[in-house]
Amino acid sequence: MDEVKEGWVFVDMPGEASPVLAARLVIDGGVGRFVYGKTYLARSDAFPLDPINLPLSTSTQTINGNDGVPAVLLDAGPDNWGKRLMRVLHSRQPANKLEELLATRGTGVGAIRVSMSRSKPKPAQGFQPLSELENIGESVQRVLDSNEVIPEEVLRQLEPGSSMGGARPKSVVQDDDGVVWIAKFTRPDDLFDQSRAEQLCYLMMRECGIETAETRLTRIAGRSVLLVKRFDITVKGRRHFISAHALKYQPRVRQADFNLVYSYPALADLIWKLSDVPEAGNAELFSRMVFNVLVGNTDDHLRNHGFLKNLNNHQYRLSPAYDVVPQPTNQGQQAIALGAFGRGSSVESCRQCGRYFGLDEHATNSTIERLQQVVAGWERFAEAVELSDVDRRILRPVFGVKKTGRQVT
């Protein structure tokens, strides 16, 4: 089979029973040519799939990097776990990023679907019932131990494009009420119970007034599983999602970009440009930045920050927080810069850049103090999630006030 070099881009839109054809993508020599359809542009509710990099236009737009695929489309593609599943599920591996995207069959995050047909995308793969969680967990374990031959009926329980970023073993399930959840499984070689630690962080974030995805802890076969509600799927249909990585994507990165482009102040600038409630959005982002520092979540890269398009207009708001987990073996630097002082995990660096988020000195300091007080009481939340004594000893040095080397204990 020849390498796929053309795809048709569809988007789920409010009030439409079927996905709407929005654009065509053709790839030649690793360079993409993206053009919106005339019928789509004529719609009163047409919106740019990427408000920064793909404005509405009748002109063909050139896409460099990512094998010629716009970064916003890749948000709907497989994460690292999904790519691992592809290696197990398919005898023929995707030859490029467009083929990876096609292999997800509409199970990825957000409202975008890509098809080889211009008439309609393939029907989205149905989600496994929550009642099958234990069997799915066994299937996930077989993939982790993928030196064995995996039966076809087991493979059908797993889909490669099921969730937002990361390498955590996961699947997507649907409960009896039709609510869709990401089931995140633990691994035998985890240093600590990551499902309980992640839930611990969400409980503290909610106490801090930070919006998070809805979550539930459960247990199968003696192992913890965290269920995270898909915030992009609602009773009104799918919501358009775009990651900060897609909005800030550039094919070539300079050293200076690590403090400028890939930074919390740069995310704040996006909120000022795109949001209908920028003041509230930036106060929220500032709280998330401080919280990540306090709990040692250094995996706060741009794919772990996202935006949801409003249903009634073309503006955006921060998505609920997701993938917040302490990283005890990777401390000292955040994945993106806190401001002019770089990526160092310091509350003082946070304090110095409050103005980028529209906060005066009083609001900056009161926010930091409020979050510090919550995190200082982390043991109470550890009790709530039944975190083991061993895991508490592992995480205790992580939680605290990163300021002058002193930590809350």
- Give per-residue pLDDT as tens, 38-60: 999 999 999 999 999 999 999 99
For 70-97, what is the mean pLDDT?
78
**Does the pLDDT at position 279 exceed 70?**
yes
Quote the pLDDT of residue 255. Answer: 75
Quote the pLDDT of residue 126. Answer: 77
Q: Please, are residues 331 and 298 in contact by the beta-carbon 8 Å criterion?
A: yes
| Range of lowest pLDDT (8-12, 108-112, 241-245, 387-391) | 108-112
**Residue spans in the chain of domains classed CATH 3.30.200.120:** 128-149+165-229
Q: What is the pTM of this model?
A: 0.92
**Residue spans in the chain of domains classed CATH 1.10.1070:** 241-400
| Range of lowest pLDDT (63-77, 167-181, 249-263) | 249-263
Quote the pLDDT of residue 404. Answer: 40
Give the contacts of 254 (CB within 8 A, at least 6 positions apart). none
For 140-148, what is the mean pLDDT?
70
Tell me how far the alpha carbon of residue 311 is from its chain's centroid.
20
Q: What percent of the residues of the chain are helix, what percent strand, and what percent coil, each to the nearest 5?
A: 35, 20, 45
Assign a CATH topology to domain 241-400. Answer: 1.10.1070
**Does the pLDDT at position 164 exceed 80?**
no
Quote the pLDDT of residue 3. Answer: 86
CATH architecture of 128-149+165-229: 2-Layer Sandwich (3.30)
For 326-367, how does the pLDDT look when each residue is reduced to its tens digit (9 = 90+)? 999 888 999 999 988 899 999 999 999 999 999 999 999 999
What is the SS3 assignment for 55?
Answer: coil
Handedness of CA 109, 267, 294, 280 (dihedral sign): negative
For 382-401, what is the mean pLDDT?
92
For 186-206, how does the pLDDT look when each residue is reduced to its tens digit (9 = 90+)? 888 899 999 999 999 999 999
| Range of lowest pLDDT (4-8, 120-124, 136-140) | 120-124
**Which tokens in the block code for residue 168?**
């955590």
pLDDT above 90 as % of the chain: 69
Q: What is the C-alpha separation between 93 and 103, in angstroms, rounded?
A: 10
Quote the pLDDT of residue 268. Answer: 98
